[in-house]
Amino acid sequence: MLGHPTHLKGEYVILCEEALVEIMFANLIKHAIEASLEGGIIRTSIDTVEWSEQDFHSIDIHNTGVVPLEICENFFKPYTTSGKDGGAGLGTHKALLVARTHKGYIRFTTSEDEGTNVTIHLPKNIVYE
């Protein structure tokens, strides 16, 4: 897998528990790399979206791989794994818990034509106590 330059279009500040969010993104990007096809590209993007009268940071992680059907139904449940060595099946479940802890949410789509996209929405204007 080759690296490509990063192009930043602006600055996004996410009020969060930094260590938790860092682990969440590290796990999700690691999973995207492992699931990507040979020579595949991992793309990440961030934007601001409005949903239910609230602004969210929308962070997308995309890869060219496809999540197997038997995994899709349980993608965010604990101990769901594709059987890779050393995998406990907790990465996406932890990501779900981190998103919820920050009053956000996470979802994914996968298809042969489009690959897999994981989207995390974290509230833009929430102060955590």
Residues 6+ apart with CB under 8 A from 77: 93
What is the residue whose two structure tokens read 């997308």?
A: 60
Domains and CATH numbers, the chain: 18-123 (3.30.565.10)
Using the predicted structure, report yes or no on whether residue 1 has a pLDDT greater than 50: no
What is the residue whose two structure tokens read 């996968």?
A: 110
Alpha carbon of 49 to those of 9, 20, 38, 42, 43: distances in Å? 15, 22, 32, 22, 19
Using the predicted structure, report yes or no on whether residue 6 has a pLDDT greater than 80: no
Res 117: pLDDT: 96
pLDDT in tens, 49-98: 887 778 899 999 999 989 888 888 888 887 777 656 666 667 899 999 99
Res 120: pLDDT: 96
Residue 37 DSSP one-character state:
P
